[in-house]
Amino acid sequence: MFLRLLAAVLATAAVAGDAQGADRVRIGISNYNLSNLTVGVAQTRDFFKQEGIDAEIIRMNPNVATMALISGDVGYTTLIGSVIGANLKGAKLKIIACSQDRTPLALVGKPELKSVKDLKGRTIGVGSYGSTPDIVARMIVKHFGVDPDTEVKVLALGSDAARLAALKEGVVDVIIVAPPVDFEGQKMGFNILSRAGDVFRFPYNGLGTSVRKINENPDEVKRVLCALIKANGYIRRNKEGTVQVLVDWAKTKPEFATAAYDSSVGVFSSDGTIPEDGLRIVIENFRKSMNITRQVSLNEVADTTPLREAQRELGMRN
């Protein structure tokens, strides 16, 4: 009896010690959805805990998340498009990994719209101006021959759910959203006009942090990245468990969660590598939208040193 009691006390002390010894970090995300599934899995399946990280995942408006990252109120954000934009304005921020190297975003439009070419003169609902969905929407319409600057109107509406509501109410003609909202729209009678992942490949979601964080706490940064890489491995291998995270963490209906997983599992990077060609596309779009005439190098907006360390830690490179 005494030995069992002693073992219980020691186990409790060990758990308490682990909790006290973990590094507390705050990560800003735009929504609890498939786009941010990597951090959701890392948190709910204890990959952060395995790396000695006590992570707080906070839903934030992209602009607020970027300002919080600059001020140090959050340590990391998954909104890498906003990080790049802030970097080009002079903020000492860098993207350090890519969790999704293709985007699951889709253009969902009114029933009478049959193709992207039908969007001339129409209004597109995005999350916020300058955000990744905004940039992706413009890239898609341009790919299909529609000028995003002169032939469509773009309206910032907030969350995916708010965009779907605006489409339903006729405020906009088309929206750009991530699964499972695209499937919800399809069930309501709207058309999926294009999936961005079928058109081009570029870093959609990942992790950004401050230059200060990279310089002052490289071990924490490495361990956060290890947790996210492990989470993506779980997503790619474990459909049932991942769908359950979408149901529980992202509050997704089971049928939509399964459909979202099936259509998007291939966008999750196996090792967090940032695709250089895709990053150049994103940088060029920012340069044009911000009227930046100088050339911008990849190293100016990205620091891959922490990621290489994490990959070595996990045996993914020598």
Report helix, strand or coil for 135: helix
Provide mean pLDDT across the span 12-22: 50
CA distance 152 to 22: 49
> Is the pLDDT score of 2 beyond 70?
no
Q: Can you give the pTM of this predicted structure?
A: 0.78
> Is the pLDDT score of 311 beyond 60?
yes
Q: What are 141's two structure tokens?
A: 């319409």
pLDDT tens-digit series, residues 73-130: 999 999 998 999 999 999 999 999 999 988 889 999 999 999 999 999 999 999 988 7
pLDDT tens-digit series, residues 140-171: 999 999 999 999 999 999 888 999 999 999 99
Residue 263: per-residue pLDDT? 85
> Is the pLDDT score of 293 beyond 70?
yes
> What ranges in the chain are assigned the alpha helix state H?
2-21, 37-44, 47-50, 62-71, 80-88, 132-143, 160-168, 181-187, 211-216, 218-237, 239-248, 254-264, 276-289, 298-301, 305-313
